[in-house]
Every structure is written in C-alpha cells, then in structure tokens.
C-alpha cells in the first residue's frame, strides 16, 4: 500500500512539472498571437483611416500599445497590453533571424504602417520587411512575430536552430 502511494506521488509530481511547462508554452504562444493580432489591427487602422498606425513596444517593461497618428500626434488606441509574467521581449543567444528580418537580429521598438497598410521604417518612412519582435519564456523557448514587406504578419517558434511558422 505504501509503495503504491509513493508511486502515485512520483507520478503526480512529474505531471505537475509537465503541466507547468506546458502552461508557460501556452502563455508564450498566446502573447505572440496577441501581438500579431494587434499588428493586424494597426495595419487595418492605418489603411482604413488613411493615416499611420503603429505598435509601440516598451521592451524593458514588457508592454505594447496600438497608436494612430492624428494630425501629427500619436494617440493611444485601446489598452496597454502586458506580456505574461513568464515572458519577456528577448532574443537571447539566438543567431538566426525569423522571417524576412536580416541579420543581425534586432528587436523592433516601433512597427509602423503607412496609410496604405505597408510596414515602413519608423525614422525614414521607407517600406521595410525588417520588423520583428522576439519573445522568450522562462523555459528558454523563443517566439517571434514578423511583418513581411507585403504586410503579412507571421508568428514563429524556434525549434533547435530553425524557425517554424505556426
């Protein structure tokens, strides 16, 4: 009887550890998809209102917000979103960029769409396909959200040394 109880406790301990790991993966995927959804909304707002719209990331605080440009003034639209507690904006020691981003890997603090819904460089206003935001969870898993030159928004997960789109 004691042996059966001990085996059950060991099995329960492993189950709890696996559940915690799976939950952290779910949170990271959820954060990446949330960023992708807000990027889609920014692209649509820019085109629909014939103005610029952007996602503004506070990389240190782990927050992001949608902003639209009304007569030269950037105005927040909606809430400020926080990453889950187990996630941070980081690419750590990852050496290969995700999507269309060219090396070296860099976090994009502002992803801006022009009045046609095309991603543009935040300082020059020229079209770009180099925008990417990277997430890392406490399990050491990496995710990325990229915007291609054609405005396609993709979510990626790093598997070994290869980025896999999901």
Backbone torsion region of residue 5, taken as left when φ is above 0, otherwise alpha when ψ lies between -120 and 50, otherwise beta: alpha
Query: What is residue 131's predicted lDDT score, i.e. its pLDDT?
Result: 93
The tokens for 9 are 């406790």
**Chain CA centroid to CA 83, Å:** 9
**Confidence (pLDDT) at 106:** 81
Nearest CA among 113, 116, 114, 115 for reference residue 147: 113
The predicted structure's pLDDT at residue 156: 96
* pLDDT score of 160: 87
For the domain that residue 98 is a member of, what is the CATH number? Answer: 3.55.40.10
- Look at residue 15 and tell me whether its pLDDT is greater than 60: no
Work out the mean pLDDT of the chain and round it to a whole number.
89
Question: How many of the other CB atoms lie within 10 Å of CB of 22?
Answer: 11
Provide the domain limits for residue 112. 2-165
Q: Which of 18-22, 116-120, 140-144, 157-161 has the lowest mean pLDDT?
A: 18-22
> What distance in Å separates the CA atoms of residue 147 and residue 45, rounded to the nearest whole number?
16
The pLDDT score that the predictor gives to residue 12 is 59
This prediction has a pTM of 0.87
pLDDT digits (tens, 9 = 90+) for 66-116: 999 999 999 999 999 999 999 999 998 888 899 888 877 888 899 999 999
pLDDT of 14 reads 58
Question: Domain total for the chain?
Answer: 1
């Amino acid at each position: 009887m004691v042996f059966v109880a001990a085996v059950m406790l060991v099995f329960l301990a492993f189950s709890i550890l696996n559940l915690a790991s799976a939950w952290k993966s779910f949170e990271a995927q959820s954060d990446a998809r949330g960023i992708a959804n807000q990027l889609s909304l920014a692209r649509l707002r820019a085109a629909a209102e014939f103005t610029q719209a952007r996602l503004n990331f506070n990389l240190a605080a782990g927050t992001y917000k949608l902003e639209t440009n009304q007569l030269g003034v950037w105005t927040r639209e909606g809430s400020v979103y926080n990453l889950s507690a187990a996630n941070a904006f980081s690419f750590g020691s990852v050496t290969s960029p995700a999507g269309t981003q060219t090396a070296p890997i860099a976090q994009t603090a502002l992803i801006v769409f022009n009045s046609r819904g095309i991603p543009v460089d935040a300082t020059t206003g020229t079209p770009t396909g180099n925008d990417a935001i990277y997430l890392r969870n406490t399990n050491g898993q990496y995710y990325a959200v990229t915007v291609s030159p054609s405005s396609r928004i993709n979510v990626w997960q790093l598997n070994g040394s290869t980025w896999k789109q999901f």
